[in-house]
Amino acid sequence: MAIKVLEALADCVASQSVAAAAAAAAAAAAAAAALADVATEECAQEQQLQQLLLRRWQQLLEKQQLLQQQQQRQQQQQQQQQQQQQQQYEQQQQQQQRQQQHQRQQQHQRQQQQQQRQQQLLLRRVSVHLVLLLLTFSLLLRCTPCCSIASRMQRSTTASSLVSAAAAAAAAAAAAAAGAAGAAGLQLQQQQQTQQFPEWRSTSAECRSLASCENACS
């Protein structure tokens, strides 16, 4: 439309027609006004479209933000669940370790108790053996002089049996005449023992008091 008006103006200028030029100018002004109106309408429509697009874009952005927030919440929940699972797993491991330690401690205590019992039994046995050894050793120490005297007396008995028998018979005859045969024979026997074994005088009472020396000397 504007191009046609411009062409008409150009023709008017070329023909030098004032009236035609004025008419052409009026037509051009009308066309420009029409174009301006069309342009303003198009601008308004474009602005409306742009506003709609902006609104839709904002809505999309809001939706994306909401989706991102939801995703973040889900991720946080998943992380919290994972942390809880890890904590539960760690607690289970700690409980298992504690149970294992408790079992080991119980086994160690049982072993210690068994060792203590064995040691106590060994100590009792050793103490019993030591007591028996000490008793036998003390018995031997106390019975040794008695046993030595008894053995010497037994050896000398066979050598001097005839002499002692004759002396005892003579003493018995003399004592029978005096009326004290038994006492004289016993006195003579004790005198013979004390003469042959002087230590018998000091140890005879102790040896007679020790009944266990009889078995030890035998």
Query: What Rg, from alpha-carbon coordinates, does the chain have?
Result: 73
The tokens describing 208, both together, are: 């007679």
Q: Identity (one letter) of the amino acid at 113?
A: Q
Q: Identity (one letter) of the amino acid at 45?
A: Q
Report the alpha-carbon distance of residue 50 to residue 22 in Å, rounded. 41
Per-residue pLDDT reduced to its tens digit, 132-166: 888 777 766 665 665 565 555 555 544 445 445 44
In 3D, which of 42, 37, 43, 44 has the Cα closest to residue 1?
37
Answer yes or no: is pLDDT of 56 > 80: yes
Give the best-scoring range by mean pLDDT among 4-8, 16-20, 105-109: 105-109
Per-residue pLDDT reduced to its tens digit, 108-141: 999 999 999 999 999 988 888 888 888 777 766 6
